[in-house]
Amino acid sequence: MPKVFNWQINREMEYPYPASPPERQFAAVFDINKCIACQTCTLACKQAWTSGRGQEHMFWNNVETKPYGSYPLAWDVKLLEMLGPQTWEGDTYTGKTIFEAAPPGQVALGFLPEDLDWAHPGLGEDEVYGVVEGGAYFGIPHQVWFFYLQRICNHCTYPACLAACPRRAIYKRREDGIVLVDQTRCRGYRECVRACPYKKVFYNGVTRISEKCIACFPRVEQGLQPFCTVNCIGRIRINGWVHSPDKADPENPVDFLVHIRKVALPLYPQFGLQVNIYYIPPVHVPVKFLQQMFGPRVERAIETYRNAPNDPELRGVLMLMGATDRWVEKFRVRGDYVYGYDGAGNELVRVPLKEPIYIRPVYDRQFAVYRHNIT
Amino acid sequence: MRWLTVTSVLVLAIVLAGHRVVLAQQSGELVSVLRPGPLPGADPFDPAWDGAPAVDIPLGPQAMAVPSLLKLSIPTVRVRSVNNGQEVAFLLEWSDDTRDDLVVAGDQFRDAAAIQFPVGQELPNICMGSAGQLVNIWYWKADWQRDIDLGYQELLQQYPNFFKDFYPGGISGSPPYTYPEDFDRPEVRQFQVGWAAGNPFSIPRRSSPIEELKAVGFGSLTHKDRQTVSGRGVWRDGKWRVVFVRRLAAPDGESVDLRRDQVPVAFAVWNGSNQEVGARKQLSGFYTLRIQGQERILGIPRDYLPAGLAVVVVLLGVGVGLLLRRRIPGRREDGRGG
């Protein structure tokens, strides 16, 4: 089996195909701290792509509550248990990836969910970890906690779905690294469903073939961010092209968050897929739990994120999130504003680093009403 | 992975070696018997099949390619064949306690069976041919059969009480449903992506439970433009019986021409409840199928023999005639001279 380099585990690993990086790579950063699980992203995606017959159970985008939520049921804990101990030495993963742990006769370690595992997308929602004891008070991390995890296809650099398809019906686009299931070649074997550790390929029982998140490629091709990003009312998401660490561009907002400030981390890097959706970890959750999900850089990431008030550039990129439906390729902070630009250098958006505050009287004489403390 | 490949080769070698032994023992037994008149096509339990010689073909787990089948679930398939000089029919019969003919749920897989022929003269790789060595596959699927017997199978067959508020195009999501009729509009069908893309698995109208495919190696399996194999499968008392029917003559250059007295043939069977699908299957090695009525005598197909003989007789007659004409004047000359 060929060896490829996976920077997220800081070592070479086995993968069925030699490395063949696309010209540019679709990526996104989700700030977990800002999500309220309103599921507007989920519905935007559903409305756009999966309202057909046979797609009822499909959420190409879903938001689940951690630690108890999971869709499909137990997708992550089941695989974590199958994979066994996952050890790190510094930034280097010393355990096995799902390719290295592949059982005989399979490309990757994985499992096929049972059909009813797809039937409870809201299970565990808002359930906290721990019990509120007498005398409890708020601190960081919280004694009792939960957080929301926003999930779409990771459009991986080393996709397990693609590797597992014996027909090569799954392909990674050279122009943007988006991973697609060819709807004319798929024969519904579900090897991809079995192999994808994130369980983001879905079997359609009416068309009897499999489907997955298409990264809203018709929008990306027009310089627009996907529906899940632009519909996010919490403005937690930003899309962009991500580079490998050695080619990181400090003016590219995604590169800046991932490689320069290192506040955005991959989900379950130990699986070995070199994912392209990154998360800013929640600051209120015990680090030990987060390390299992986002790898050994969690503590540094949280520290850097909490320093954002003193870091105008970081603040700038965070303010660019959800500020435009266009694809921001460059950003620059000048004075009190952050500017977003397209690939040609045209200004797309300008956002103040600090939103102005207006103080108005409690009683509005014109409308004869009292104003409450709302924004 | 390397040890797996070695094991795979060993397993296949053992399977094939086993087949060779069986072939040696059963030499000439896999025969498509010539029986003029209509073929027993529509009913796999037609008593007409009883007279056809049956051969039990041993199957081995597919272990050459990943994903592979680690545990055999169907050890043999019983094969019979008859032809009437124009069409050929095969009957495949195997034991399977569970009838898996619904694949609506994400963890359901179909029972299926396939027959594979090389299209050219050379014997290709057993696993779906190889570059330049096309194989032709006839692939019966239990769910396609159910589509034909009972109408296109979809959500309601798996979850009868399922409902949804509405579908695109204002289609009500409450029973009674009419799939595919209500959904057969472009603005609705675009959400039935496989159907809109013309995927043969997704097109909700079927004419045959058997799909005809071509392949030139692992991963190259492709639905043929022309579909000419018909047939029917029935599950009864823990056994599947499936009939495949096609004309002996090849409908196109991508299909096997069975107007030959001998043709290599291989078989594969899938057990859905064992999660067998695609490469996770049990298969046989290549066997030689003798097709009665297609024997060649002096290299001439038996069908052409009367015509051939007539031509030979005519040619002989002409030759003798010419010889005689040439000799008669000679005689005269001889006579004159003598």
List, for residues B170-179, the tens digit of each pLDDT value.
998 887 778 9
Query: What percentage of residues in chain A have a pLDDT greater than 70?
Result: 99
Q: Helices A287-294 and A298-306 sit at what angle, rounded to 10 degrees?
A: 110
Contact A105/B179, CB-based, under 8 Å?
no
Q: What is the mean pLDDT of residues B161-173?
A: 90
Q: Does B179 touch chain A (CB under 8 A)?
A: yes
Q: What is the mean pLDDT of chain B?
A: 87
Chain length of chain A: 375
Contact B219/A168, CB-based, under 8 Å?
yes
pLDDT at B3 > cutoff 50: no
Provide the chain A residues 154-213 that lie in CB contact (below 8 A) with chain B: 164, 166-168, 183-184, 186-191, 193, 202-209, 211
What is the band of B329 on the pLDDT scale with cuts at 50, 70, 90?
low
pLDDT at residue number B328: 59
The CA-CA-CA angle for residues B109, B111, B117, to 5°, reads 120
DSSP assignment of A172-196 equals: E-TTT--EEE-TTT-----HHHHH-
What span, in angstroms and rounded, lies between the C-alpha atoms of A35 and A82?
A: 30
Among A57, A107, A115, beta carbon nearest to B66:
A107
Contact B278/A184, CB-based, under 8 Å?
no
Which residue, B19, B117, B12, is CA-closest to B65? B12
* Contact predicate B100/B271, CB 8 Å: yes
Q: pLDDT higher for A108 or B176?
A: A108
Q: What is the tens place of the pLDDT at every residue in B229-270? A: 999 999 999 999 999 999 999 999 999 999 999 999 999 999
Q: pLDDT higher for B199 or B7?
A: B199
What is the band of A358 on the pLDDT scale with cuts at 50, 70, 90?
confident
Contact B143/A52, CB-based, under 8 Å?
no
Contact B106/A50, CB-based, under 8 Å?
no
pLDDT at B20 > cutoff 50: no
Q: Which two tokens stand for residue B35?
A: 């029986």
Tell me the chain B residues in contact with residue A104 when contact means C-beta distances shorter than 8 Å: 4, 7, 68, 70
Distance from A152 to chain B by nearest Cα, in Å?
19
pLDDT at A85 > cutoff 70: yes
Distance from B280 to chain A by nearest Cα, in Å?
9
Lowest mean pLDDT among A103-112, B23-32, B252-261: B23-32
Tell me the chain A residues in contact with residue B192 when contact means C-beta distances shorter than 8 Å: 52-54, 206-207
Tell me the chain A residues in contact with residue B195 when contact means C-beta distances shorter than 8 Å: 207
Q: What is the mean pLDDT of residues A329-350?
A: 97
pLDDT at residue number B26: 44
pLDDT at residue number B304: 64
**Which structural domains are found in chain A, ordered by start?**
3-128+140-292 (3.30.70.20)
pLDDT at residue number B24: 33
Helix (H) or strand (E) holding B89: strand B87-95
Distance from A208 to chain B by nearest Cα, in Å?
6
The architecture in CATH of the region B2-152+206-294 reads Sandwich (2.60)
Q: How many CB atoms lie within 10 A of CB B67?
A: 21
To the question of pTM greater than 0.80 for the whole model, the response is: yes
Distance from B97 to chain A by nearest Cα, in Å?
21
Q: Which residue of A has its CA nearest to B102?
A: A205
Q: How many CA atoms lie within 13 A of B183 on its CB side?
A: 27
Q: What is the mean pLDDT of residues A243-272?
A: 98
Tell me the chain A residues in contact with residue B69 when contact means C-beta distances shorter than 8 Å: 105
Q: Does A1 touch chain B (CB under 8 A)?
A: yes
pLDDT at A272 > cutoff 90: yes
What is the band of A357 on the pLDDT scale with cuts at 50, 70, 90?
confident
What is the band of B19 on the pLDDT scale with cuts at 50, 70, 90?
very low
pLDDT at residue number B324: 76
Q: Does B199 touch chain A (CB under 8 A)?
A: yes
Q: How many CB atoms lie within 10 A of CB B20?
A: 11
* Contact predicate A260/A248, CB 8 Å: yes
Q: Does A102 touch chain B (CB under 8 A)?
A: yes
Distance from A47 to chain B by nearest Cα, in Å?
9
Contact A203/B106, CB-based, under 8 Å?
yes
The rounded radius of gyration (Å) of the Cα atoms in chain B is 26
Q: Which two tokens stand for residue B299?
A: 């290299």
* Contact predicate A237/B132, CB 8 Å: no
Q: Does B70 touch chain A (CB under 8 A)?
A: yes
Which residue, A295, A284, A259, A293, is CA-closest to A129? A284
pLDDT at residue number B302: 63
Contact A52/B191, CB-based, under 8 Å?
yes
What is the band of B21 on the pLDDT scale with cuts at 50, 70, 90?
very low
pLDDT at A359 > cutoff 90: no
